[in-house]
Structure 1
């Protein structure tokens, strides 16, 4: 798997969500941004387990992604974040990202991986990014794919 391409494809998938009326559009990046235009989703750290199958046929990556929401007031920001973290629905990051799995028998992320799954949410808390406070959470995404280049 080419990690930079996988990261960009995850961000593209997240971009497909529908924000509630009157809320700013979700901005997304496949990397940790210098500055955040809230609400913002980005792909942060990742780890890779190589050689999960013989002959470099399978690697497994785990991506830690973050979603940060402005805190105009405590409750409103958390309500927006809760909607983004719902397990389903038009504003669900999980649903939008997992839609990039493709149809049965298709490769995920437009052919970049075999499969992916949003496995959990963690770290629901206040985050500081470039000196600004946001309410946010981390989404953990598991991606499996070929270890050797195609």
Structure 2
């Protein structure tokens, strides 16, 4: 007498393999989407951190030094006091300040003195605009003028 062993048929095994393949494919697709979103979030955080560091550095220097001047021929923003000075050098892809480098592209720079747009050396406020790829963000830094700002 022949006895039958309990086992799965080939058809049942193929169905299990096909269903497993579909589930694994969906899992890898979801994982790829999540990774792309995480990379985008990481790049956005990196840009915003760099922009915040630049803003903080400019604000501190703006209020630390007595006079601000933009040298158009050097494409540099110079902060001076009686004791010290610091220069921000603008390049196409980055801004340098002594040993610091801010990897930010500036699309447009506007400089103001006493509420008016100026191309003169004296500056008391400035606006730095980033390209559209960065969501049209901008920085606006200003300082209050004292009497020495209006003296020649």
Relative to the length of structure 1, the TM-score reads: 0.26
More helix by share: 2
Relative to the length of structure 2, the TM-score reads: 0.26
More strand by share: 1
